[in-house]
Amino acid sequence: MSVQLINVSHIYAQGTPFEFAALKDIHFSIDKDEFIGIIGHTGSGKSTLIQHLNGLLSPTEGSVVVDGVKMGDSKGDKLALRRKVGLVFQYAEHQLFEETVFKDIAFGPKNLGLSEEEIENRVRDAMEVVGLDFETYKERSPFELSGGQMRRVAIAGVLSMKPEILILDEPTAGLDPYGKEDILRSVYQLHERQKTTVVLVSHNMDEVARLANRVIVMSSGEILMDAPPAEIFTQVEKLNEIGLGAPDIICLMRALKKAGMDVDDQIFRAEQAKEEILRALKRGEGAPCSKI
Ligand code: ADP
Ligand code: MG
């Protein structure tokens, strides 16, 4: 499926003293199989943008086009879009409310009127994707779980709707490194194995550098850059100018080059960096440790 935003502007509290233009003339489209990372500092319009992609917000100006058809204002159109485009909110665990993990994840499919069997299958599948054992956790109260586990329950609640596009708003914010890793691994596997299109909003450059195949940089309600990660993350100065950092890896490679090591300083992913550093160490000197 594809979703396009054409000339989209969004003004909050229009006509009041609190009027604020959060999106300005946005052109943007998501296509099948993409893994899009959206970066930008707080207040740049990321959350406002993604809520237009699943019909939670409507443009003040411009239009949303889904699979070539312009979205109307009807409730039916919006509901249909929300079923296909799953949105995991920032701190999604705050929206858990049922007494068991099973009931919470089953909430969406139940509202679709699916059979008990289909509901259970969907809950099982969603729990498997986020790495929660069905038998161990299904009857637990979500409120007894760790922060990372609660967030995974909340993500499973969106996955149980089998969205074609999955949007996650800062899904790792506030979690410890293991909790972050668990979630990123699940999201990446979903993209790889089930071909789910993913939109990941994050202010963590390393996460986006690692996973996305297209990166959107937002600033003051506008899309400043929209390009493959190699084009975005090598522009360290430009990122710094708008108050964003660069991935740690590219900074490391630049520091190594400056210190006299013969490495490619455009690398921004850890795996490639490791190989490049080992190659540089071996070059002409035999075993890597002979240089130390
Ligand atoms: P981000 O997700 O990048 O931090 P948001 O899309 O949440 O940015 O917000 C963009 C701007 O719109 C911010 O300046 C924010 O204060 C403002 N904003 C967000 N939601 C509302 C709202 N409901 N009413 C008024 N202003 C809002
Ligand atoms: Mg936000």
Tell me how far apart the alpha carbons of residues 113 and 96 are, in angstroms, rounded to a whole number: 20
- What is the reported pTM? 0.94
C-alpha torsion angle, residues 196, 76, 114, 186 (rounded to 10): 20
What's the confidence (pLDDT) of residue 73?
A: 80
For residue 40, how far is its CA from the centre of ligand 2 (angstroms)? Answer: 9
- List the domain boundaries for the chain: 247-292
Tell me how far apart the alpha carbons of residues 60 and 136 are, in angstroms, rounded to a whole number: 46
C-alpha torsion angle, residues 91, 94, 96, 101 (rounded to 10): 60
Q: Going along 124-196, which residue ranges are E strands? A: 165-169
For residue 289, how far is its CA from the centre of ligand 1 (angstroms)? Answer: 52
What's the confidence (pLDDT) of residue 136?
A: 98
Residues 6+ positions from 75 with CB-CB distance below 8 Å: none
| Mutational test site, ligand 1, from 20, 41, 216, max ligand atoms within 8 Å of CB | 20
Tell me how far apart the alpha carbons of residues 154 and 246 are, in angstroms, rounded to a whole number: 30
DSSP 275: H
Three-state secondary-structure class, residue 178:
helix
For the chain, the 3-state helix, strand and coil shares in percent, each to the nearest 5, are 45, 20, 35
CB 266 within 8 A of CB 285: no
What's the confidence (pLDDT) of residue 190?
A: 95
What's the confidence (pLDDT) of residue 61?
A: 97
Among 88, 106, 122, residue whose Cα is nearest residue 200? 88
For residue 48, how far is its CA from the centre of ligand 2 (angstroms)? Answer: 7
Mean pLDDT by 10 residues, the chain (292 residues): 96 96 96 95 96 95 94 86 94 95 97 95 97 98 96 97 97 94 95 95 92 96 96 93 91 93 93 94 66 57
| Mutational test site, ligand 1, from 28, 47, 223, max ligand atoms within 8 Å of CB | 47
Q: Going along the chain, which residue ranges are E strands? A: 3-12, 20-30, 35-39, 61-66, 69-70, 85-88, 165-169, 197-201, 214-219, 222-227
